Amino acid sequence: MWPWAVTLLLLIALAVATFLPVGYYVNGPGSVTATQPRVDISGHRSYESDGEIMYTTVSERHATPLLLLQAWLDSTIDIVPEDVAVPTGNRQEERRYEQRLMDRSKITSIEVAFNKLGLPVTINGTGAFITDISKDFPASAELSQGDVITAVGGTPVKLASDVRPLIEGLQAGDDVDLTVRHRDDQSIEDVTVELGRNEEDLTRGYLGVALETADEDVQFPFEVNLDSGSVIGPSAGLAWTLGVIDRLTPGDLTQGQRVAVTGTIDPDGTVGPIGGISQKVAGAIDEGATLFLYPDRTGKADVKRMKKIANGHITLKPVATLDDALAILDPDGLGASEK
């Protein structure tokens, strides 16, 4: 074969390996960004810090043969089948959904920070909107995604957080009376639902639904804007909360450290698990972070992999709540926020 033909074939093979997408995605370490410079506060005193509270991300790319080879050689990169990475088949729609989760997460982060600092927050809603429901719980026979719980045992429900205290003392197998506004026709119905069992917490019964406040209107006494740029999803919730607290309190919450943080945040301050945590540890190390806070509900296999990647380069600390994170960062207590 002529040399020019060999060269042409090699160029074609290189182009195919570099640019031809295949039926997989590759997930690797993504960006690591300090929250404090992206927290803009108007109408209230704010403070600067030497240290950084950084949120972490995962880089997700449609795989090519060359990227698959890179993933095979790099233990911090995962190969994910396309139907798992994009389960609906509509990447744009999923990104819009993830953007809504980020927007919701930022509001919750500010709310949790304000509550921790004793700053007033006014929240109004029309009930507890069911965002998801587990098929393994009896409630799935009576409730549907999109329904709104407006009362529990006759007690009105305005916010998602109203529901849990009203079933707190009940056990799996107990019945609870709910008033529900149905998604399809907005009709109101009283239903009786049996509480199910959560194997991770056998101390009480569970509805088996994920809730958020319907028609939520959150009002703060002054303006706080969080600039998330192009980052989407809810996994920066804890980082945003800590960033807001640091900006609203004197002193330096991190004591000058570069701290990477991941985990969702619930209105009650609970930290939830996230995906891609191994990639986030690797990204934090690359960015020079010395401490990594992560959800304590992270699975054992992921924790084992995280520790292998950390390998003494970064300290890993699990946290279950905002208070756990604050106890690690500032064990002597927060500076007094001016109100």
pLDDT digits (tens, 9 = 90+) for 258-272: 999 999 999 889 999
Higher pLDDT, 168 or 116: 116
Q: Give yes or no: residues 232 and 110 share one domain.
A: yes
Q: Give yes or no: residues 232 and 207 share one domain.
A: no
Q: In whole angstroms, what is the distance from residue 55 CA to residue 57 CA?
A: 7
**pLDDT confidence band for 3 (50 / 70 / 90):** low
Q: Which of 156, 190, 213 is the last residue of a domain?
A: 213
Question: Could you tell me the CA-to-CA distances from 158 to 41, 161, 217 in Å, in that order?
Answer: 29, 9, 11
pLDDT of residue 11: 52
CB-count exposure of residue 23 (10 Å: 0-12, 13-18, 19+): exposed
pLDDT of residue 204: 84
Q: Give yes or no: residues 129 and 114 share one domain.
A: no
Query: Which of 4-13, 69-78, 90-99, 315-324 reaches the highest mean pLDDT?
Result: 315-324
**pLDDT confidence band for 224 (50 / 70 / 90):** very high
Higher pLDDT, 203 or 212: 212
**Beta-carbon count within 10 A of 184 CB:** 8
Q: Which of 169, 188, 213 is the last residue of a domain?
A: 213
Residue 9 inside a domain? The answer is no
Domain that holds residue 137: 123-213
Q: What is the mean pLDDT of residues 308-320?
A: 94
Of 16-30, 75-89, 201-215, 278-292, give the lowest mean pLDDT range: 16-30
Give per-residue pLDDT as tens, 55-70: 999 888 777 777 777 6
Residue 95 inside a domain? The answer is yes
Q: Give yes or no: residues 109 and 240 share one domain.
A: yes
Q: Is the pLDDT of residue 9 over 70?
A: no
Q: In whole angstroms, what is the distance from residue 263 CA to residue 295 CA?
A: 6
Q: What is the mean pLDDT of residues 197-225?
A: 87
Q: Is the pLDDT of residue 337 over 50?
A: no
How many domains does the chain fold into?
2
pLDDT of residue 336: 39
Q: Give yes or no: residues 105 and 140 share one domain.
A: no
Tell me the percentage of the chain whose pLDDT exceeds 90: 56
Higher pLDDT, 12 or 203: 203
Of 11-25, 167-181, 198-212, give the lowest mean pLDDT range: 11-25
Q: Give yes or no: residues 111 and 175 share one domain.
A: no
Longest dimension (CA), the chain: 86
Question: Could you tell me the CA-to-CA distances from 131 to 1, 150, 220, 261 in Å, in that order?
Answer: 63, 15, 25, 26
pLDDT of residue 5: 52
Q: Is the pLDDT of residue 27 over 60?
A: yes
CATH number of the domain at 252, please.
3.30.230.10
Phi first, then psi, for residue 58 (nearest 5°) are -115, 135
Give per-residue pLDDT as tens, 12-22: 544 544 544 55
Q: What pTM was computed for the model?
A: 0.79
Give per-residue pLDDT as tens, 231-258: 888 899 999 999 999 999 998 899 899 9
Average pLDDT, the chain: 86
Q: What is the mean pLDDT of residues 147-173?
A: 93
Higher pLDDT, 81 or 326: 326
Q: Give yes or no: residues 115 and 227 share one domain.
A: yes
Q: Give yes or no: residues 319 and 189 share one domain.
A: no
- Of 300, 230, 239, whose CA–CA distance to 265 is shortest? 239
Q: Give yes or no: residues 110 and 40 share one domain.
A: yes
Residue 302 inside a domain? The answer is yes
Q: Is the pLDDT of residue 222 over 80?
A: yes
Q: In whole angstroms, what is the distance from residue 162 CA to residue 166 CA?
A: 7
Q: Which of 161, 191, 213 is the last residue of a domain?
A: 213
Phi first, then psi, for residue 112 (nearest 5°) are -65, -40
Q: What is the mean pLDDT of residues 283-303?
A: 94
Of 15-19, 87-91, 118-122, 258-262, give the lowest mean pLDDT range: 15-19
CATH number of the domain at 168, please.
2.30.42.10
Q: Give yes or no: residues 239 and 94 share one domain.
A: yes
Q: Give yes or no: residues 30 and 79 share one domain.
A: yes
Residues 6+ apart with CB under 8 A from 313: 285
